[in-house]
Structure 1
Amino acid sequence: MPMTSTDAESILFSQARDWAAQDPDSATSAALSELVRQAESGVGAARQELADSFNGTLQFGTAGLRAALGPGPNRMNRVVVRRAAAGLAAFLSHAVGEVSPGTRPRAVVGYDARHNSDIFAEETAAIFTAAGFETFLMPSALPTPLLAYAVRALDCDGGVMVTASHNPPQDNGYKVYLGRHAVEESGRGAQIVAPYDAGISARIDAVGPVDSIALAADGWTVLDPSIAADYQRATAALADPARFPSRDLRIVLTPMHGVGGETAVAVLNEAGFSDVTLVAEQAVPDPEFPTVSFPNPEEPGALDLALETAVRVDADIVLANDPDADRAAVAAKDPSTDAWRMLRGDEVGALLGAHIVARLAAGGEEKPDGVLANSVVSSRLLSRIAAAAGYAHEETLTGFKWISRVPGLLYGYEEALGYCVAPDLVRDKDGISAAVLIAELAATAKAGGKTIFDTLDELYLQHGLHASDQLSIRVANLGLLDAMMNRLRVSPPDSFGSSAVETFVDLADGTEHLPPTDGLLYLTRDQTRVIIRPSGTEPKLKCYLEVIKGVESAAELPEARQAARAALDQVLGDVREALGL
């Protein structure tokens, strides 16, 4: 006999009551009981929220866990986190036991300043300790790169960072790193990739009732603040004042209400950049992110206060970190318009790549072997910079979990404001170490009477003007993403921007250099490139566009910019048409 809607509601309400009864958090338990009461009273919004909260279990993937805070198996809460910690502990115990029998597993746990991050972190430490681990807990709310640093510095088998990065204030997350005996050398201190995610997920699924999970009352080590000082010292030491001595740079810095401000200022100061003004309204960690609608430097309006501060203090550059400080944004006054603007991630990625090549060349020693890398959706300019300097270049799938694993990596970036300038220090994107080298290259340009835009123009004169843009389509129904991708596979476009498609690659089939991933790549006769893929973290279809215009002299740059913008606009229109928008 088929289940009626009344039966389904009765089961839903029963599941919710059972959850509230076993929830160790009195706040979420009370909130859930109230939600059930409202739903039973016929409040539609409460019924919908309740149904979504119990619509399956939050799935652990390569990005760990990330969701809205709240009661239920499809939200971030103490029950879900306890189960995740217990499952991860079982995974690590097994992994360490296989490789080094008898070795006590070691793990480190960090957290940001979001709602409940400290609670989730401490309970994770308690569960690891009860499982027999040597467990370290970060001394305070600190940036994600510091946790990634600690995994290797403390020679840990695993690391957990409780953060939702630049998500809205109602979210939190649980990011996992592996190290020492739990992963191959290239993955130590890096975010997980398949099949590790599936292995951890299976262990989480096997965890029994939440009241069967043991939590130690004590026994873990709260790390001394010297762990942050060690990271700061090592990161500041990335600067090379002997070969790039200029420190005349007025910087405005915003941590976007996150945890990076104190660390970033300390590192920049220690690297010799003393003229740093924090955006006062965004300097102190605040889980509500009250001055921005979305705490992501890429979002429109997010840098408004920083730009206002820059104008007021007559700054040379704005540096912005996202709330957990693993990303870095840059803004400066464009001399062609005399207006401040944020640089695209690809522009900063090229500037950093060229600066790192220049640093290596200035060293005077024999050129080191090594690789420059970026994600497949990032600009092709870095590959030309690498080739001109005699370095290998690799493209990877999207995400630093792939970039950081490139053998021999010297530098890697992705267009979404992620940069790894010191892979021996932090095997992940790091917005603070990136800020040091951005400041160094900007001060060097200023000392030569130039801006970072002039430095970019020099790269364009050598390698061609690379111009990029994006189209993001947010959907309410994830099924629409599959429908749009299927539409393109069934009826592939034959041209973009009046240039015929010469190469079409369905990335789901994999390539010689890339494992399979859901995405489509088009390359036209005039080297216009279009890549379309579903986002891995949001209900969005993302389209990445790039055009290249050759330039012979500086005088041709203004016209080349206009031509590139016109070409991108035409390609944007063609992409919209191909998607049926």
Structure 2
Amino acid sequence: MEWKAIAKGWLDFKELDNELKNELEALKGNEKQLEEIFYKNLEFGTGGMRGEIGAGTNRMNIYTVRKASAGLASYIEEQGEEAKKRGVVIAYDSRHKSPEFAMEAAKTLASQGIQTYVFDELRPTPELSFALRYLKAFSGIVVTASHNPPEYNGYKVYGSDGGQLPPEAADIVIAKVNEIENELLIQVKSEQELRTAGLIKTIGSKIDEVYIENLKTISENPTLAEETDIKIVFTPLHGTANKLVRSGLEALGYKNVSVVKEQELPDPEFSTVKSPNPEEHAAFELAIRDGKKVGADILIATDPDADRLGIAVLNDEGEYIVLTGNQTGALLVDYLLSQKQEKGTLPQNGVVLKTIVTSELGRRIASAFNLETVDVLTGFKFIAEKIKEYETTGEHTFLFGYEESYGYLIRDFARDKDAVQAALLATEVCAYYKKQGLTLYEGMLRVFEKYGFYQEGLRSLTLKGKEGAEMIQRLLASFRNEPLTSLGSLKTLASEDYLTSIRVTQNGEEVIHLPKSNVLKYIFEDGSWVCLRPSGTEPKVKFYFGVNSTSLGESKQKLQNVEKDFMDLVDKKVKMVQTI
């Protein structure tokens, strides 16, 4: 159906939500904007869906949430009565409409006779993963758009293992969602009626208590809190982590914790930051201010749904710098493995899991302990999938999983990246080095000196809307049609196309045994690498870079050269595809 007919159907729908109706009335005559919000359905993909809040089939609203939930309900119904009784756990973050969307999801599921459990207030994404496993539910939903701008919200679906739905199950749910022709006609019962029937139940503090008990098991050296009086500044960046991070630190004995007052409470506008993203130095501005006041050893920031963690440390010039996700990951994995080895608790079949765009430093550290590192596609659901596989086969014992985008998992009582876990372990690593008279920054330099001066970079190109999405596809096609044989003075050693599952080297072609994904990766003769990947949640294409050398200065220069040479090539190709 053409978008104009769909738009008319929404405007003519007598029971349309008043807020959405007023928004559409205000857009009458603005054909470009109307086309943008109706030209397609908001895509429900393998990671759920994410988009701007507002009226239209290409926006997050109660009707698109109902559609996604009705598709999930259909999938659960096919699994039988036991699946319906086990039910669905639902959590939500601090964003606009998050509580409302969570309840719409609950009502849609409960109206089909599916048991639902809704948290009494906002909660971190990893606690949803934990709660799902603890309650032995069949599925879970988190209403969140992570660290996207305030105008966004999203919807993620989880399986019974506590991980985001793996591709096979996600494909079935996606098909069920796409079978629904008109989201406006989905009928839901009232919240009160469904609560009276016992199909919507509220959960809260009991789950918190058990989760915190599990958090205590993360510590490798429980006495460090008493042995070192480290000073911590923490900011939840207006999100969901405030209570649990503080409770977790207290449970481990870390008492000298200052919370950034202006960012302590939930705020859907994230009004004190340009972006509530702990990957960005600007998000630490107030934490750095407070850190200087109290002489903090470590600054900790979590994103709104508390699945990503950023830390800032004092460098050798006495200034706070934000570590990259790769650097934090290296510090955590080196500490974990070394402490387990020292105590004799390091399993011989232990495994470190990371994504294909994450630093090779993690692999180098694991290999020093004679452990294997397994790469997966970008997305923590693939790490969760591997944990589940090894749990079944016994082939490996999970020790640590991470991705360069500030996501870490230490203990598998949750099956998604967990900033609460990571905050506690990062604090312990800081205490470990402080006991030796070192800063965490000096600890990182020790890791580099021991394993190699690995440096990584990330650039991105944002192209919004329908035209932008088409341009991103043309850009990737351009790289596929013209193989990259060299970059500057570096010859290409191997190219990997995860869409065709083919790795091309000087010796011929090899099969890549990972699910298909629209990703390209180039490895050069000196070990440097570049990877291109369209974002699954934002209108952008990301470019990842990795290098290694014998000194920090040399690695930084090499990274600068590789980034410049490649982005110059991207600029040329963008100009070319704009003319197509």
TM-score scaled by length of structure 1: 0.89
Q: Which runs of 4 or more aligned residues in structure 1 lie more than 4 Å from their structure 2 counterparts after TM superposition?
A: 242-245
> CA 1:549 to 1:482, structure 2 compared with 1: closer, same or farther past 3 Å?
same
Q: Is the 8 A contact 1:110 1:142 kept in 2?
A: yes
Q: Which residue of 1 aligns with 2:25?
A: 33
- Determine if the alignment matches structure 1 residue 421 to structure 2 residue 410: yes
| Correspondence for 1:214 | 188
Aligned to 1:280: 261
Residue 431 of structure 1 corresponds to 419
- Structure 1 residue runs without a partner (length 5+): 40-45, 180-187, 551-559
In 2: Cα distance, 1:170 partner to 1:421 partner: 32
Aligned to 1:77: 61
Equivalent residue for 1:455?
443
Aligned to 1:312: 293
Contact 2:499 2:516 in 1 (8 A): yes
Q: In the TM superposition, what are the counterparts of 1:383-394 in structure 2 within 5 Å?
A: 383-394=363-374
Output one character per residue of 1:309-340: Cα deviation in whole Å (capped at 9) or x when no partner.
111111111000001111000101111x3221
Alignment correspondent of 1:182: none
Q: CA deviation at 1:55?
A: 1.4
Q: How does 1:321-470 map to 2 (within 5 A)?
A: 321-335=302-316, 337-365=317-345, 367=347, 369-406=349-386, 407=390, 408-423=397-412, 425-470=413-458
Aligned residues: 543
The secondary structure found in structure 1 opposite 2:544 is strand
Note the alpha carbon deviations across 1:422-474, whole angstroms, 9 max, x for none.
12x11110001000000000111011011222222222222211111122122
Is 2:166 the counterpart of 1:193? yes
> Does residue 260 of the first structure (1) align with residue 241 of the second (2)?
yes
Is the counterpart of residue 22 in structure 1 residue 20 in structure 2?
Answer: no
Offset, 1:305: 1.1
Conservation of the 8 A alpha-carbon contact between 1:236 and 1:268? no
Mean Cα deviation higher: 525-534 or 162-171:
525-534
CA deviations over 1:214-242 (Å, ceiling 9, x no partner): 32522221114211122122113322344
CA separation in 2, counterparts of 1:213 and 1:12? 19
> C-alpha deviations, 1:244-298, integer Å up to 9, x for none?
4544211111101111112111111111111111111110001011011121122
Q: CA deviation at 1:30?
A: 2.4
Q: Deviations over 1:344-374 (max 9, x none)?
A: 1100011111111023223334635321011
8 Å contact kept, 1:123–1:215: no
CA contact (8 A) 1:247 1:272 kept: no
- Residues 247/110 of structure 1: CA separation in 2 closer, same or farther (3 Å cut): farther
Q: For 1:399-421, what per-residue CA distance to the aligned partner results, in whole angstroms no more than 9, with x for missing partners?
A: 10111222242211000000011
What's the counterpart of residue 492 of structure 1?
483
Higher mean C-alpha displacement, 361-370 vs 292-301: 361-370
Contact 1:472 1:541 (8 Å CA) reproduced: yes
The 5 Å alignment of 1:475-554 reads 475-476=463-464, 477-510=468-501, 511-550=511-550
Q: CA–CA distance in 1 between the matches of 2:433 and 2:301?
A: 20
Counterpart mapping for 1:37-52 below 5 A: 39=29, 46-52=30-36
What is the Cα deviation at residue 103 of structure 1? 6.7
Query: What percent identity do the matched residue pairs reach?
Result: 32
**CA–CA separation in structure 1 for the residues paired with 2:469 and 2:183:** 31
Distance in 2, matches of 1:103 and 1:90, equals 10
What secondary structure does 1:323 align onto?
Answer: coil
RMSD: 2.1
Which residue identity does 2:381 align to in structure 1? K
Partners of 2:220 and 2:336 within 8 A in 1? no
Asked if the contact 1:236/1:270 (under 8 Å) is kept, the reply is yes
What is the letter of the counterpart of residue 563 of structure 2? L
Q: Where do residues 2-13 of structure 1 align in structure 2 (5 Å cutoff)? A: 11=5
Query: Which of 275, 279, 302 is the aligned partner of 1:294?
Result: 275
The counterpart of 2:565, out of the listed 567, 571, 574, is 574
Alignment of 1:173-188 (within 5 A): 173-179=154-160, 188=161
Q: Deviations over 1:499-518 (max 9, x none)?
A: 22222222222244423222
Name the counterpart of 2:504. none
Tell me, yes or no, if the aligned pair for 2:430 and 2:439 is still in contact at 8 Å.
yes
Kept in 2, the 8 Å contact 1:93–1:105? The answer is: no
1:190 alignment partner, SS class: coil
Q: State which of 65, 75, 94 in structure 2 corresponds to 1:91.
A: 75
Say which is worse superposed, 202-211 or 372-381, in terms of deviation. 202-211
User: Cα distance 1:522–1:562, how it changes in 2: closer, same or farther (>3 A)?
Assistant: same
> Could you tell me how far apart the structure 2 residues matched to 1:480 and 1:324 are?
31
Alignment CA distance shift 1:127-1:485 (3 Å): closer
C-alpha distance 247-14 of structure 1, shift in aligned 2 (>3 A) = same
Q: What SS does the corresponding residue of 1:509 show, helix, strand or coil?
A: coil
Taking the aligned partners of 1:506 and 1:143, their CA distance within structure 2 comes to: 35
Q: d(CA) in 2 for partners of 1:300 and 1:577?
A: 25
Cα contact 2:472–2:541 (8 A) shared by 1 = yes
Deviations 1:9-38 (A, max 9, x none): 96465234134x232x322222222333xx
Amino acid at match of 1:205: N
In the TM superposition, residue 520 of structure 1 has moved relative to its aligned partner by 1.9
Question: Is the CA contact (8 Å cut-off) linking 2:40 and 2:57 kept in structure 1?
Answer: yes
Structure-2 separation of matches of 1:240 and 1:365: 10
